[in-house]
Amino acid sequence: MAKSGDPARAVTAPALSTLDFALDRGSPVPLYYQLAQQLEAAIENGALAPGNLLGNEVDLSVRLGLSRPTVRQAIQSLVDKGLLVRRRGVGTQVVHSQVKRPLELSSLYDDLEAAGQGPSTRVVRNEGVPASTCVAAALGVPEGGEVTVLERLRLTHGQPVALLCNYLPTALLDLDRARLESTGLYRMMRACGITLHSARQTVGARSATREEADRLDEEEGAALLTMQRTAYDDTGRPVEFGTHIYRASRYAFDFQLLVRS
């Protein structure tokens, strides 16, 4: 079966010919940057989808009345961001858009599905383990007592975006592997009558280890976003402690700040 980057699956982007590029030649903002921003917006809103081809730089430069170096610089900036890729014998192709997730108590699977990102899951680990000091404190269980550790690789359009590690009380719910690979953990909890009410969450960043880089298809030392969360049900009981890592090249937290008087 051909993958998304294979010539057999690559498709031209008829939408590109109808996109309205509003380039302001009198603006102090460089033309390459204006073009790059508008191409990125088209990728983000789905006007240019993963697998679409942009055509060659010469045609694009003629159509927009720009120099070829200007077009090349705009495309290269999106290649550097991981939104486009140059493939020998194929051309410049849209790879993906960065996942922007609202910073709230929600399932990554549900957020990706709602954004049309085509989520899928690979279960890496699902077993009982003794609770470490940190896990025991988060879940309110004795240190060394058994908890369930669930480790999953979350993908969008077949590309890894996050490595999720969750610890749960052993008797909380049946963690069926097939269901875990077809839906989100929070959706499974809700189906079992668990009402998620609140969470404490910390967001950070660090560099990828060799093992993490291999799993996430990144370079060792690449930037990762980190998230640690303890979720509680409507009775105040801790039901999940998660430590997750995300590819910074493909993922961002998005949140709104309100001004208090």
Query: Residue 158: helix, strand or coil by DSSP?
Result: coil
Residue 6 has pLDDT above 50, yes or no: no
- Higher per-residue confidence, 207 vs 115: 207
Q: Find tokens 């997750």 and name the residue.
A: 244
Q: In this prediction, what percent of the chain has a pLDDT beyond 70? A: 79
186 pLDDT band (50/70/90 cuts)? confident
Least confident of 30-44, 110-124, 152-166, 186-200: 110-124
* Bridge partner list, 164: 152, 244
Question: How does the average pLDDT of the chain come out, rounded?
Answer: 79
Residue 25 has pLDDT above 60, yes or no: yes
pLDDT digit string (tens) for 42-85?
877 777 877 788 777 787 888 888 898 998 898 888 887 777 87
Between strands 223-233 and 196-207, the pairing is antiparallel
Task: Domain 99-254: give its CATH superfamily.
Answer: Chorismate lyase-like (3.40.1410.10)
Amino acid at 22: A
Instruction: Tell me the two tokens of residue 229.
Output: 């969360």
Give the span between the Cα atoms of 118 and 241, in whole angstroms. 25
Buried b (16+ CB within 10 A) or exposed e, 76-115: ebbeebbbbeeeeeebbbbbbbbbebeeeeebbbebbbeb
Give the span between the Cα atoms of 83 and 239, in whole angstroms. 37
Give the span between the Cα atoms of 21 and 70, in whole angstroms. 14
216 pLDDT band (50/70/90 cuts)? very high
Amino acid at 40: E
Residue range 216-242: mean pLDDT, rounded: 90
pTM above 0.85, yes or no: no
Query: Residue 252: helix, strand or coil by DSSP?
Result: strand
CATH code at 11-94: 1.10.10.10
Instruction: Tell me the two tokens of residue 207.
Output: 């560099």
Least confident of 33-42, 80-89, 184-193: 80-89
Domain-wise residue ranges, the chain: 11-94, 99-254
Instruction: Tell me the two tokens of residue 3.
Output: 């993958």
